[in-house]
Amino acid sequence: MSVSDLDTYFLNNWVEAIKQCEGSLEPDDAEQVRLVTSWDVLQMRLFASRGSGSSTSIPSEIPLMERTFNHFQKFTHIFETHLSPGLKAHFFWGIVSVLLQITTQNSRALSEIPRMLKSLGYKAEAFEKHYLAASRNYEEQTKEACFDIYVQLVQFFTTAVKCMRDGENHVQPYYRGGPEGRHGQEEDSWSRLQREFVNTNQSLNQTLIRIEKLVSQRPPSDDRNSLDVAAITRQMLVLKLPNKTYPSFFGRVDTMAKIDQILTPREPATSFRSIALFGLGGVGKSSIAARYIERMKEEQVYGALFWVYGETNASLRQSFTDIALRLGLDGAQPNLHDENRGLVHDWFQTTDCNWLVVYDNVEDENLLMPYWPEASHGKAIITTQNHNLVYKFATSGLEITSWDAQTGSEFLLSLLKSNIGRDIQQEGI
């Protein structure tokens, strides 16, 4: 695609994206969006009153996000100056301003929206770090990735505003699967927002993976190499492994190789990747995950390994509390489950440690959503009977089936040999 064609593509699609977002907003919100046209204007609105003794001070959660806004500012600078003449970030900062206004008026939003924005800010920061390196040899692909990320962010911010307005107005509940799903599971505005957040994070991770592949095709530079990262992870071996003992592991060599291929555990700098091991109950999904995480421990591939019990909300909460306490995170306490969840998410996003987390026996996507990693790096494994989780959360899926006749026979022979050997040893033969 020529430069002029690419410019036209960006401009036309940006105009259409803004038109759709504006058209979905309430008139008052659309008008407020137009009043904030830059980071400088938003910054003045957010932080000008600090230290001035103003009686209209904003909640402390908002100023604490200043670093997140700086990540967005650097990213939007690339959007405005490197892609195409005529592209402006006006709508971006306007919709963020409206989102923050609504957030300050809602106690639940004050606990959820900053967390979401921080996660998305880390994605913007990750892209900004890779942009110059990737664009030297792959300028067109890198610009397209920047545009895609920008549109996804704006669309999510718009969706967040709509969801919170729906919650205020008590609109008709949304039913997953459309109107025909009315007799199915009802989804309130916050559940819908959480689902959209997970989907946006997933899409952004896929885009970052593409960019990192472009960067990896460059000749080695004087950047910090993988040996340095490996040294860091070996210095910090944190374990939260399954309490349950699984049956002796047998075979599954091809399965292990496929998991390795998807997660690429020896490439610690890659973006967040995940795999869902799905199949019928009793076919060995948890045993495979347990053996895999045990092998990663033996080989010291990861600096931190975690096992999360995903059956119920209570087991998920307790697992994250155990992780927070195991990591020794500042502020972690045994009974502060929601706070501990936030601390673990922050650690996932900010640590230099190469980590892997297993979510075992997950069946309910709504339970998993608040606990799913929002980081731009790290690895995760899900074991589940619900194949829909593959499409909702995981980078890839792998169906686990029962052994075929030959493998089953080999397993029985191995048991016989083991038992015979043990009998001989006991008899002293």
- Distance, in Å, from the CA atom of 358 to the CA atom of 259, rounded to the nearest integer, reads 13
Compute the average pLDDT of residues 278-302: 85
Compute the average pLDDT of residues 206-225: 64
- Is residue 93 over pLDDT 50? yes
281 vs 384, which has greater pLDDT? 384
Compute the average pLDDT of residues 372-392: 85
Residue 387 banded pLDDT, cuts 50, 70, 90: confident
pLDDT above 90 coverage of the chain, percent: 21
What's the DSSP call for residue 217?
T
Q: Which of 6-10, 14-18, 424-428 has the highest mean pLDDT?
A: 14-18
Residue 371's nearest CA partner among 299, 311, 418, 289 is 311
Residue 260 banded pLDDT, cuts 50, 70, 90: confident
- Is residue 222 over pLDDT 80? no
- Is residue 179 over pLDDT 50? no
Range scoring the smallest mean pLDDT among 158-162, 382-386, 405-409: 405-409
CA torsion angle 106 108 110 113 (round to 10) = -110
- Is residue 141 over pLDDT 80? yes
Q: What is the pLDDT of residue 224?
A: 37
- Is residue 3 over pLDDT 90? no
Compute the average pLDDT of residues 370-395: 85
Residue 365's nearest CA partner among 316, 318, 398 is 316
Q: What is the pLDDT of residue 159?
A: 94
- Is residue 152 over pLDDT 90? yes
Q: Would you kindly state where each structural domain of the chain is located, as residue ranges?
A: 3-216, 227-408
- Is residue 209 over pLDDT 60? yes
368 vs 135, which has greater pLDDT? 368
- Is residue 228 over pLDDT 60? no
pTM of the model: 0.63
Q: What is the pLDDT of residue 229?
A: 33
Range scoring the smallest mean pLDDT among 24-33, 277-286, 394-403: 394-403
If 0-12 CB within 10 Å is exposed, 13-18 middle and 19+ buried, where does residue 299 land?
exposed
Q: What is the pLDDT of residue 148?
A: 92
Q: What is the pLDDT of residue 231?
A: 39
Q: What is the pLDDT of residue 82?
A: 84
The pLDDT tens digits of the residues spanning 33-90 come to 999 988 888 888 776 555 545 445 677 777 778 888 889 999 999 888 888 778 888 9
Average pLDDT value over all residues in the chain: 78
Q: What is the pLDDT of residue 19?
A: 92
Q: What is the pLDDT of residue 109?
A: 85
- Distance, in Å, from the CA atom of 165 to the CA atom of 168, rounded to the nearest integer, reads 5
Task: Tell me which CATH code domain 227-408 carries.
Answer: 3.40.50.300
- Distance, in Å, from the CA atom of 254 to the CA atom of 403, rounded to the nearest integer, reads 12
Compute the average pLDDT of residues 268-295: 82
Beta partners for 380? 274, 357
- Is residue 358 over pLDDT 90? yes
Residue 31 banded pLDDT, cuts 50, 70, 90: very high
Structure tokens at 324: 């927070």
Residue 412 banded pLDDT, cuts 50, 70, 90: low
Q: What is the pLDDT of residue 182?
A: 41
Structure tokens at 387: 């194949």
Asked if 306 contacts 358 with a C-beta cutoff of 8 angstroms, the reply is: yes
Residue 138 banded pLDDT, cuts 50, 70, 90: confident
Residue 30 banded pLDDT, cuts 50, 70, 90: very high
Q: What is the pLDDT of residue 384?
A: 92
Residue with tokens 């990192």: 212
- Distance, in Å, from the CA atom of 206 to the CA atom of 186, rounded to the nearest integer, reads 29
Q: Which of 192-196, 233-237, 307-311 has the highest mean pLDDT?
A: 307-311
